[in-house]
Amino acid sequence: MRNKFTVVGAGNVGATCAQRLAERGYADIVLVDIIEGMPQGKALDILQSGPVIGFDSNVVGTNGYEETAGSDIAIITSGVPRKPGMSRDDLVLTNMNIVKVVTEELVKHSPNCIIIVVANPLDAMAQLVLKVSGFPRNRVIGMSGILDTARFRTFLAQELNVSVEDVAAYVLGGHGDTMIPLTRMATVSGVPITEVLPKETVARIVERTIKGGGEIVALLKTGSAFYAPSAGAVQMVDAIVLDKKQILPCAAYLEGEYGINGVFVGVPVKLGRNGIEEIIEIKLTPEEEAALSKSVDAVRELIEIMKI
């Protein structure tokens, strides 16, 4: 039997996730949204690209959860995207109500699924999903670090005029203004970028990475990024379904790792068939540790607003 995935929210991020996943051909997809007809229409449209692209995944759209029953993986993208000038943090109360109801429905119909959270503010929404689902922490994972790292890698590759594939990097911390692009560990073909780029250039790229989401919001005017976020979520699905044991920066619920307890924050994790199979602890400098602690404080502030 094929895998079954549910994508909740058939907007920009959700529909693009559904398209990318359908094109992989290794799972059937259920696309859920509250807008009547919209997920059905988009699902049918994606399905009809199958004969051209060459995939035979089934894709259905629905406004309910019956069809989602027995999903292996669910991706939550339902929520309001950021508007210009709006911080991810402003989103918390609106998206909290949406994500809570969605999680309850998903869990009722797919009690064994792995949930990938994409809705913002990411770390707070992941914390909410863990709480509401009652799932073990290996089955609730936030998509943020892959996106932030992809932005960091893109800007570094542009600056160096090399392929993005030559640039390796990590961004840790919360998905927001306190994220930590680890310049010390960023490399181009194995060479530390700090050896090939001036300090000021690295600092400028770090700043642009941190503001990467806002840059796109300002350009789009009516929505936020979705091509790269959906690519990030799908990379996580690949790692899980193909049991790749791939180490990726994701938001994970920490229980003592990095000296942090009881909160979601972006760290490197090993993803495989069981979801998060290991939280990788890399040795941080005192400055990086302080930055991570500041990032955790920012996440905790949002969690306090939600009163969960």
Positions touching ligand APR (CB under 6 A) are 8-14, 32-35, 77-79, 81-82, 95, 98, 101-102, 118-120, 223-224, 226, 229
Measured from the Cβ of residue 84, the count of other Cβ atoms closer than 10 Å reads 12
Q: How far is the CB of 83 from ligand APR (least distance, A)?
A: 10
Residue 109 annotated to the active site: no
Name residue, tokens 């600056």: 159
How far apart, in whole angstroms, are the C-alpha atoms of residue 161 and residue 60?
A: 42
Q: How far is the CB of 202 from ligand APR (least distance, A)?
A: 27
How far apart, in whole angstroms, are the C-alpha atoms of residue 241 and residue 259?
A: 30
Helix axes 145-160, 227-241, angle to 10 degrees: 120
How far apart, in whole angstroms, are the C-alpha atoms of residue 45 and residue 70?
A: 24
Q: Catalytic pick from 42, 151, 175, 270?
A: 175
* 162 vs 220 by CB, closer to ligand APR: 220
Q: How far is the CB of 19 from ligand APR (least distance, A)?
A: 12
* 11 vs 174 by CB, closer to ligand APR: 11
Q: Which residue is nearest to ligand APR (CB)?
A: 11
* 124 vs 260 by CB, closer to ligand APR: 124
What are the φ and ψ backbone dihedral angles of 180, each rounded to 5 degrees? -125, 95
The CA distances from residue 94 to 14, 58, 188, in Å, are: 18, 32, 41
Q: Report residue 306 CA to chain centroid gap.
A: 20
DSSP character at residue 112: T
* 78 vs 110 by CB, closer to ligand APR: 78
CB neighbour list of residue 52: distance below 8 Å, 6 or more residues apart: none
Q: How far is the CB of 96 from ligand APR (least distance, A)?
A: 11
Measured from the Cβ of residue 168, the count of other Cβ atoms closer than 10 Å reads 15
36, 91 Cβ separation under 8 angstroms: no
Q: How far is the CB of 75 from ligand APR (least distance, A)?
A: 10
List the beta bridge partners of residue 114: 73
How far apart, in whole angstroms, are the C-alpha atoms of residue 58 and residue 44?
A: 9
Helix, strand, or coil (residue 34): coil
Name residue, tokens 């495989």: 272
108, 233 Cβ separation under 8 angstroms: no
* 188 vs 299 by CB, closer to ligand APR: 299
Q: How far is the CB of 232 from ligand APR (least distance, A)?
A: 10
* 86 vs 196 by CB, closer to ligand APR: 86
244, 251 Cβ separation under 8 angstroms: no
Residues known to be catalytic: 175
